[in-house]
Amino acid sequence: MTDTKTFPHSIGLTSVGNARELGGYKTMNGKAVKHGVFLRTAMLSRINEKDIAILKDSYRLEKIIDLRSDEEISGNESMALFTGTSAPEPDPEIEGVRYFHLPVLDMNYFMKGLEKIPLLDDMVQMLAMTIDSGLIGDDLYFNFLDNEPGKSSFRTLFKEILSLEDGRSVLFHCTQGKDRTGVAAMLILTALGVSEEVITQDYLLTNDYNKHRIDAERKMLEASDKVPPEKIDTFLMAMDRVNEFTMTNVISHIKASHGSMLAYINRELGITDEEIKTLRERFTE
């Protein structure tokens, strides 16, 4: 089981990456998010039976929210650059747990950009072209929030949280559990009254949970003659690392467009002030 001192907020899974919870974060009114309710992870397709038992028995898992695209789940050669495989990666069926597929990414936008990038054997070169195209970075996050697929999925995410049974949990994930999952966590924590500083701290925990992968990727990139040293961090961001400036820019984008984070949740997602109040009454203590 993951050491919770080294990895705060860990939910103790060994076969699922970036597996943690939002419980324990302090809210701005002096309360804290309840433990064992909001679980965030990378994809579940390779989860083992021991970890399934933890989710069912220790967390009383009720719902899984899969934020990935159809292409990531069913397998797609073009998406292999981001998923690491072109093979199907469906979530397992878990008895007693309801599954919701809520794709966040506007695939019309994304695939149109990918069409300009040739399929190559050299994944580093493909990644460089993808980064240069602007498909990876702040604009990708803005796409999650501004386009209807993302708004519809986040809207449904909140509705499913509101209908969660007392004492049960919800698990939300994408592929690496960092970008779409990070935005979902940002929205949930905002609704619960957690500060932007703490939201950013939660976002950055991905770097701790992915440290071994990031270190290995850094060595690989440093050994490549195709990646200038000054661009290594940018490449890592497209792989398994996150940067606090990404979350800062996303929050600034929302404020510039909508006035505040809560205003976005109200107006764009249709979550009312009364529902926000209910969320805080039910899921903070």
Mean pLDDT of the chain: 91
Could you tell me if 66 and 41 are in contact, meaning their C-beta atoms sit under 8 angstroms apart?
no
Say which CATH architecture domain 20-283 belongs to: Alpha-Beta Complex (3.90)
Question: Which tens digit of pLDDT belongs to each residue from 136-170?
Answer: 789 889 999 999 999 999 999 999 999 999 999 99
In this prediction, what percent of the chain has a pLDDT beyond 90? 74
The pLDDT of residue 246 is: 95
The confidence band for 118, taking pLDDT boundaries of 50, 70 and 90, is low
Range from 80-89, 196-205, 265-274 carrying the lowest mean pLDDT: 80-89
Domain boundaries defined on the chain: 20-283
pLDDT of 117 > 50? The answer is yes
The pLDDT of residue 8 is: 85
Can you tell me the mean pLDDT for 75-103?
85
The pLDDT of residue 121 is: 60
pLDDT of 281 > 50? The answer is yes
Could you tell me if 31 and 189 are in contact, meaning their C-beta atoms sit under 8 angstroms apart?
no
pLDDT of 19 > 70? The answer is yes
The more confident residue out of 238 and 92 is 92
The pLDDT of residue 78 is: 66
| pTM score, whole prediction | 0.93
The pLDDT of residue 82 is: 65
